[in-house]
Structure 1
Amino acid sequence: MESYPDRHNCHSERSYAMLGTGALGGYYGGCLQKAGLDVHFLLRSDYNHVSQSGLVIESTDGDFTLSQVNAYQDVKDMPRCDVVAIALKTTQNHLLPDLLLPVLKDDGVVLVLQNGLGIEDAVAEIVGSHRVIGGMCFVCANKVAPGHIRHLDYKAISLGEYTADYHPAGITARMRQIATDFESAGIPIDLSEDLLLARWQKLVWNIPYNGLSVILNARTDELMANASTRALVEELMAEVVAGAARFDRHISSSFVQNMLDRTAKMKPYKTSMKIDYDLQRPLEVEAIVGSPLRLAEAAGTNLPQIRTLYRQLKFLDRKNQG
């Protein structure tokens, strides 16, 4: 295992704040620091451990340790940064009005690395729509202990500029700059001209696998190995495609097949929603399932399988919390 206490290699002058240092923020932030970028981590329960011992990243690309990281418990103690990445679960988004402004430079941008649909709207209300970029993370990673992240598979991020009406915004210079930073850290980046399309594409995976993993108490490999559950996955994916089409966002059958093929080849994986359920944390039901369901149904598209999934998850989440 290699140790990287100091910045090196990367010549970017952009600074990054990771709001949330769980699997997502710990992995991506750790990779950025290892590549030499100036990264600042907001933590809660893990603060004492990480401030003293740093971060450990176990990865299929090679394990490494960051013996020293810039760790904080309060955004008021953090420097203002060029890019503020939201790596919190959407169930914590009520905290964002207090978290974002103290750490964001006047000309900075917020990178929303969260699952779901419509989540950029709330961020834009806080910082302005011209300062928001959406990020869809295709990564298998879990936090296995305080300050200890295990990266299992995949790691790419799709970036898209936010606009108030979700009209395609094209590929901007700041998207390319952020992409360069992540690529210097070994993270493949896809630049999307259409954030809304990219969000619906991510839901093709997130709705069936996150939802069914909780309802059926199953890993991704178990869902794919059984003919009945694989058929159910495909039916849910078809409804996501139908929902996207209602907003003139067309997802090809080859994209859907690629999601199925990649998941079938994936190492056995417990989804983030299943981990949250097992730990009795609130589930991201509204952002991942409820929001796209309501938008599609309000536009006149019937999604009966997703509606059933949503109601089952709401029941299990409330029972699990209560």
Structure 2
Amino acid sequence: MGLFNSGISSYDANSVLARVKDICQVWTDSGVETNISENIQVSRWSKLVWNASFNTVSVASGGNDTRQMLDSPKCTELIRKMMVEVFTAGKVVTGSNLTSLNGQTTPEGVIKSTDAHPKSVSPSMLMDYRAKRPLEYEVILRNPIELAKKHSVEVPHLETVYALLTMIERGYMQ
């Protein structure tokens, strides 16, 4: 949790941050792990490194989990290229370097960390796809694509997978 943009806010950021800390403490006391982010936009983009690649490719590749995707060199390369685009766009949009999964700062590090996981992971978008529920590609891909374009950052792999996901979802939601 954190403030959306405390630098240009029209509210008392310190007062709101104190309330965020109170909410986090209530959740922590109830057994829910919480983190307070100094810059929620950097945190959001950092999370997108994994979500915009593994989540989306799991569906676009026909319903594969992380092990199946990483067992394919071509699929792994697509994931890496998508991560490069997110790292690049995120840095331009937020003005900060991103730190993703397990403190990783490169696509290779995120991929290696995912590959080292003892069990394969079925990303949340894959679970939605299997259950024929709406996919979250608008938040995970469209919004970052629009922000990247606004900042003149090319993201062709993100755009391609976004186009495929819209067609996949349309195919089973009609």
TM range (shorter): 0.7 to 0.9
CA distance in 1, matches of 2:136, 2:6: 23
The 5 A counterparts of 1:35-50 are none
- Indicate the SS of the match to 1:221: helix
Letter matched to residue 201 of structure 1: S
Give the aligned partner of residue 301 of structure 1. 153
- Aligned partners of 1:160 and 1:195 also within 8 Å: yes
Shift of the 316–189 alpha-carbon distance from structure 1 to 2, 3 Å rule, reads same
For structure 1, the 5+ residue unaligned runs are 1-158
The answer on 1:189 being equivalent to 2:34 is yes
TM-score of the aligned structures, taking structure 1 as reference length: 0.46
Structure that is richer in helix per residue: 2
For the aligned residue pairs, the C-alpha RMSD in angstroms reads 2.5
> Which stretch shifts more, 306-315 or 248-257?
248-257
CA distance in 1, matches of 2:31, 2:120: 23
Give the aligned partner of residue 249 of structure 1. 96
Give the total of aligned pairs.
Answer: 163
- Aligned partners of 1:166 and 1:196 also within 8 Å: no
CA distance in 1, matches of 2:6, 2:17: 16
- Indicate the SS of the match to 1:246: helix
From 302, 310, 315, give the equivalent of 2:162.
310
The answer on 1:230 being equivalent to 2:81 is no
TM-score of the aligned structures, taking structure 2 as reference length: 0.81
- Indicate the SS of the match to 1:250: coil
Residues 220-273 of structure 1: CA deviation (Å, up to 9, x unaligned): 222223332222211111100111122213215833455334422153222221
CA distance in 2, matches of 1:272, 1:245: 25
For structure 2, the 5+ residue unaligned runs are none
CA distance in 2, matches of 1:174, 1:194: 16
Instruction: State the 1:214 CA deviation.
Output: 0.4
From 119, 127, 130, give the equivalent of 1:275.
127
Give the aligned partner of residue 114 of structure 2. 263
Letter matched to residue 105 of structure 2: F
Which of 1 and 2 has greater Rg?
Answer: 1
Q: Which has the higher contact order (CA 8 A, sep 6+)?
A: 2
Question: After TM superposition, which residue ranges in structure 1, 4 or more long, deviate above 6 angstroms?
Answer: 164-167
